[in-house]
Amino acid sequence: MIKRKLTREVRIGSRTIGGDTPIAVQSMIVEDTSDVKSCVEAIIRLDEAGCEIVRVTTPNLKDAHHLAEIRAALKARGHGQIPLVADIHHNGYKIAREVSRHVDKIRINPGLFVFKRRLPDQEYTEAEIREEREKIHEQMTEVIKACKNNGTAMRIGVNHGSLSERMMFIHGDTPEGMVESALEFIDICESEGFYDIVVSLKASRVPIMLAANRLISERFAERINAYPLHLGVTEAGDGQYARIKSTVGIGTLLAEGIGDTIRVSLAEDPLEEIPVCYDILQALGLRKTKVEFIACPSCGRTKFNLTEVVPKVRAATEHLVGLDIAIMGCIVNGPGEMADADYGYVGKGLGRISIYRGHEEVLKNVPEDDGIAHLIALIKEDGRWEEPPATKKVANL
């Protein structure tokens, strides 16, 4: 079992992340924030797809006011509970201060918070470093004050690709630099008595993202406060490779007990991100949002058409969220390898199968064609059956 590393609980509007609360799934809309109507529709689509926190970009002060309109429209449409996060860009402390009135969390990027383009390889003097730090402290104090007044949380979101030049000068382009960048901002928050903080350390390269998150998790263990970590692989791209990259990065850390909220960033419709997040969480046993199907790949021992049966069993039972159902090719290894599934459909002989409840072979030698009906009958007998939603037709029974 995964033992999660303990972090503070931080409230993001109607949701709490950190501690032992379920790992929250989040995404970000891609619409222009000034197009309030489209933003509202996009957020509702994500909310209905199961997204639990939605981020919206806020590039300018006008957009801070658009966020207020978006929030009001969501409320009017019955979606006022979905936590909203405003993404703040370069030199955006005034925007952050304003938008904190309208959202549940703001996301600031330490690399861009006080941003001044410098000449390539231009060195920093001690005085310049001090001056930049003072400016950050001054502006952060303003933002923190606004967050405190409005009950708004803050994500300190470091990206490997946008580390500040000062941090790069001191620590190089490294996971250590990412961690120091986050800690510098955390220290300012703590010095102002502000603890509603979430931290992310993202990179498009999985090993860097892993190293940075492991390191900050170690550093948190040495400090008084450990803040919830938001995990993600940035610019993962699209298609299968993006999903694999995100799963490897996010899943590896979650398996180590690191992480409290996740986003899978795909260069696709944001709706596509949600099932990937839930699949990562389900595979690790961290959340259960669907039936866990366990099926062997079949081999020469299989005496029925397993690849045809698997989708049929799935179609008949996939609405029974919470159950584990195994479809195994043979009686020799199947019962042992279906682990602790609640029910099993296991090949017995030519065209014949057995139905299991846990490790008990309840029905032996049932003709393959009747197998699914018997499986359903057993689930009903156990009082664990529910009728599928009206729109869903159970096929081929």
Query: Whole-number minimum distance, CB 345 to ligand SF4, in Å?
Result: 12
Could you tell me the sign of the dihedral formed by the alpha carbons of 19, 24, 27, 33, in that order?
Answer: negative
Written as one string, the DSSP assignment of 243-308 is: HHHHHHHHHHHHHTT--SEE----SS-GGGHHHHHHHHHHHTTS---S-EEEE----TT--S-HHH
Residue 337 annotated as binding site: yes
Taking the CA atoms of residue 62, residue 265, residue 166 and residue 143 in that order, the dihedral angle to the nearest 10 degrees is 40
Residue placing its CB nearer to ligand SF4 in the complex, 82 or 328:
328
Residue placing its CB nearer to ligand SF4 in the complex, 193 or 300:
300
Residue type, 20: D
Pair 18, 11: CB distance under 8 Å: no
Structure tokens at 213: 């998150």
Residue type, 32: D
Residue 361 backbone zone (phi > 0: left; psi -120 to 50: alpha; other: beta):
beta
Query: Whole-number minimum distance, CB 337 to ligand SF4, in Å?
Result: 5
Residue placing its CB nearer to ligand SF4 in the complex, 66 or 303:
303
Please give the Cα distance from 304 to 95 (Å, whole number). 63
Residue 189 annotated as binding site: no
Query: Whole-number minimum distance, CB 144 to ligand SF4, in Å?
Result: 58
Pair 286, 256: CB distance under 8 Å: no
Query: Whole-number minimum distance, CB 211 to ligand SF4, in Å?
Result: 38
Residue placing its CB nearer to ligand SF4 in the complex, 139 or 298:
298
* Three-point CA angle 359, 364, 365, nearest 5°: 135
Query: Whole-number minimum distance, CB 296 to ligand SF4, in Å?
Result: 3
Query: Whole-number minimum distance, CB 326 to ligand SF4, in Å?
Result: 10
CA distances to 306, 317, 368 from 373, in Å: 16, 11, 10
Residue 142 annotated as binding site: no
Residue 296 annotated as binding site: yes
Residue placing its CB nearer to ligand SF4 in the complex, 289 or 302:
302
Query: Whole-number minimum distance, CB 185 to ligand SF4, in Å?
Result: 52
Please give the Cα distance from 301 to 329 (Å, whole number). 7
The SS3 assignment for 317 reads: helix
Nearest residue to ligand SF4, by Cβ distance, number only: 329
Please give the Cα distance from 87 to 112 (Å, whole number). 12
Residue placing its CB nearer to ligand SF4 in the complex, 237 or 311:
311
Residue placing its CB nearer to ligand SF4 in the complex, 46 or 296:
296
Task: Kindly list the residues in this chain that would bind ligand SF4 in the complex (CB under 6 A).
Answer: 296-299, 301-302, 328-330, 332-334, 337
Query: Whole-number minimum distance, CB 51 to ligand SF4, in Å?
Result: 37
Residue placing its CB nearer to ligand SF4 in the complex, 299 or 321:
299
Radius of gyration of the chain (CA): 25
Binding site for [4Fe-4S] cluster: residue ranges?
Answer: 296, 299, 330, 337
Binding site: residue ranges?
Answer: 296, 299, 330, 337
